[in-house]
Amino acid sequence: MKDRIRKATRHVNQNEGLIFEKSSAGKAAWRLPPLDVPEVDPSKLLGSSARKDMGNMPEVSEIEIIRHFTRLSTWNYAIDLGMYPLGSCTMKYNPRVNEAVARVEGIANGHPYQPEKISQGALQILKTLSECLIEITGMNAITLQPAAGAHGEMTGLLMVRAYHQSQGNARKKILIPDSAHGTNPATAAMVNYAVENLKSDSRGMVDIGALEAQMSGDVAALMLTNPNTLGVFEQDIHKIADILHAKGGLLYMDGANMNALVGKVRPGDFGVDVMHLNLHKTFSTPHGGGGPGSGPVAIKKILEPFLPTPVVVTKADGTLGFDYNRPQSVGRVRAFYGNFGMFVRALAYIQANGPDGLRQTTEDAVLNANYIRKGLEGAYDLPYSTPTMHEVVFSDKLQAKKGVRTMDIAKRLIDYGFHPYTTAFPLIVPGALMIEPTESESKEEMDLFIDAMKSIAEEVEEDPQTVLDAPHSTRVSRLDETAAARKPVLRWKPTV
């Protein structure tokens, strides 16, 4: 079977222990300059607060650290190595100029409390990015403060709550479609709203009848992902917005899938009142192995009084500054102003694209997903035949007959040189394979992917065990997650 694998070749990588296992007393990777002020005696200055013991911190040299982390890095898959088709995660190319400009002296080292007079550069970046994102979303105002998508959700719902409170009733519930990300219900709970599930219809869209029945004066908002997690654009979006608005509710949009819309349609134009963006998805800031992200929240005018403090304003003399005097604000959601370094990267991305590039990006993302959909139809079960945008969700229904599930197919995909797609999500599709190629994939890379997926489908028929035992080419085989959770070992300890 192995001759079918065209993209990847096995090659040597290095073994590497834990850094603590390389440590020995007297090795060092640091050197401080000579002290230009008098030495101090810590025990005299700190008394009983002086630290006595540094525990088992490592002692290693610089070359060992370089090799250690370089070796570890070679055990990772990455966008830089190839397609990373995780649905809903938007693993697109992370441009290197973004990294370069984030490291320019005054941008990397500006202090959040330095006087506004010498912070005009940073303030200008905040303002320009805000204006771009407001235009892209079709909303009226924005806060950049939230540190990630889920944090943005919380900020958005806090504003929803503050708005309803200002109307005399905070309301009780948030409606959330059954296809939603787990962060949506978790966020609603953090803002002390009850969660009510909303069923999807046979097209994979919000069931309008169910929405009408469930909508009441108790509902604060509907949290809608659009396109939803099936990659389906909610065609009845205007009806959805109308139903909510008629009973005083607000429409929250989870912007996780904004990569399908930028430059083609604006949520503000189709009735959304509040939404978050993920700069680490749509706007190309790197995922970095799990973060940092950034989750700006864009809003309609009615929510503006409730924005977190501070807000960037243009002062009477034309310079920029922060406005802290906002009596109706929901307060702060994070110290300082948010993940500023991500704003720099996102703005650099917008500049590199311009209006034409942003539109072409969206078109290519949707084109790529539909190309894969077409390429895999027949080989995998497509539970919803509704047209899809930037991602497509198959199921493992055909392969399950041979005892092979979505996770097994995903693990086999690793041997073919690809990162797996998102498995077992959305929850409304049993055994889901959720695929989002993004615009960053060439036709060649996608042809290889389609080939690999088809080849695995054939393997399932001819030799399912190969798939069940996958991956075969990685430095570790499938890991025992049950044992890890039953008796957690969460840190290294010296052997006595």
Partner 1 sequence: MRYLPKSPADREAMLKAIGLRSVDELFAPIPAEYRLSRDLRVPRQMAESEIVDYFRERSRENGEGYTSFLGAGAYAHYRPVIIDSLISRGEFLTAYTPYQAEISQGTLQSIFEFQTMICELTGMEVANASMYDGSTAAAEAVMMAVRLTGRRSVVVARSLHPEYREVLATYATHQGMPLSVAGFGDDGRLNLKELEKSITAETAAVLIQSPNFFGTIEDVAAIAEVAHKHGAMLVVSIAEAVSLGIVEPPREADVIAMEAQSFGVPIGFGGPYCGVIATREKFVRQMPGRLVGQTVDRQGKRGFVLTLATREQHIRREKATSNICTNQALVALMVNIFMTVYGKVGLKELAKQNLAKAAYAAGKFAKQGKVLFAGAPRFNEFVVETKEDPYAINSRLLGHKIVGGLPLKKFYPDLGNAALWCCTELTTRNSIDTAVGLVADRDGSAPSTKEEAGVEEVAR
Q: What part of residues 443-472 is at the interface with partner 1 (CB under 8 A)?
A: 443, 445, 471
Handedness of CA 78, 82, 85, 90 (dihedral sign): positive
Instruction: Give me the DSSP letters along 197-211.
Output: EE-B-TTSSB-HHHH
Question: Distance (Å, rounded) from C-alpha 350 to C-alpha 127?
Answer: 14
Q: Are strands 297-299 and 141-143 parallel, antiparallel or unpaired?
A: antiparallel
Judged by CB under 8 A, does residue 496 bind partner 1? no
Judged by CB under 8 A, does residue 120 bind partner 1? yes
Q: Mention every residue, 6+ apart, whose C-beta is less than 8 A from residue 109.
A: none
CB of residue 30 vs partner 1: minimum separation in angstroms?
A: 4
Judged by CB under 8 A, does residue 136 bind partner 1? yes
Judged by CB under 8 A, does residue 313 bind partner 1? no
For partner 1, the closer of residues 118 and 213 by Cβ is 118
CB of residue 394 vs partner 1: minimum separation in angstroms?
A: 16
Q: Phi, psi at residue 143, to the nearest 5°?
A: -120, 135
CB of residue 165 vs partner 1: minimum separation in angstroms?
A: 10
Q: Residue 156 carries which side chain, given as an amino acid letter?
A: G
In the region spanning residues 220 to 259, those forming contacts with partner 1, defined by CB under 8 A, are: 232-233, 235, 237-238
Judged by CB under 8 A, does residue 111 bind partner 1? yes
Alpha carbon 494 to its chain's center: 36
CB of residue 488 vs partner 1: minimum separation in angstroms?
A: 5
Judged by CB under 8 A, does residue 56 bind partner 1? yes
For partner 1, the closer of residues 371 and 455 by Cβ is 371
Site for partner 1 (CB under 8 A): which residue of 58, 248, 383, 464?
Answer: 58
Judged by CB under 8 A, does residue 481 bind partner 1? yes
Task: Specify the 3-state DSSP secondary structure of 63.
Answer: helix
H or E element in which residue 107 lies:
helix 105-109
Token pair, residue 108, equals 């990397």
- State yes or no: cis peptide before 426, omega within 30 of 0: yes
Judged by CB under 8 A, does residue 183 bind partner 1? yes
For partner 1, the closer of residues 151 and 402 by Cβ is 151
Q: Mention every residue, 6+ apart, whose C-beta is less than 8 A from residue 34.
A: none
The interface region with partner 1, picked from 114-122, 208-216, 242-250, 392-400 by CB under 8 A, is: 114-122
Judged by CB under 8 A, does residue 29 bind partner 1? yes
- Radius of gyration (C-alpha) of the chain in whole angstroms: 25
Q: How would you write 397-408 as a 3-class SS string?
A: HHHHCCCCCHHH
Judged by CB under 8 A, does residue 38 bind partner 1? yes
The interface region with partner 1, picked from 86-94, 214-222, 395-403, 457-465 by CB under 8 A, is: 86-94
For partner 1, the closer of residues 4 and 332 by Cβ is 332
Alpha helices in 326-339 (DSSP H): none
Q: Residue 471 carries which side chain, given as an amino acid letter?
A: P
Judged by CB under 8 A, does residue 187 bind partner 1? yes
For partner 1, the closer of residues 11 and 491 by Cβ is 491
Judge whether 333 and 311 are in contact, CB under 8 Å.
Answer: no
Site for partner 1 (CB under 8 A): which residue of 3, 168, 479, 495?
Answer: 479
Judged by CB under 8 A, does residue 406 bind partner 1? no
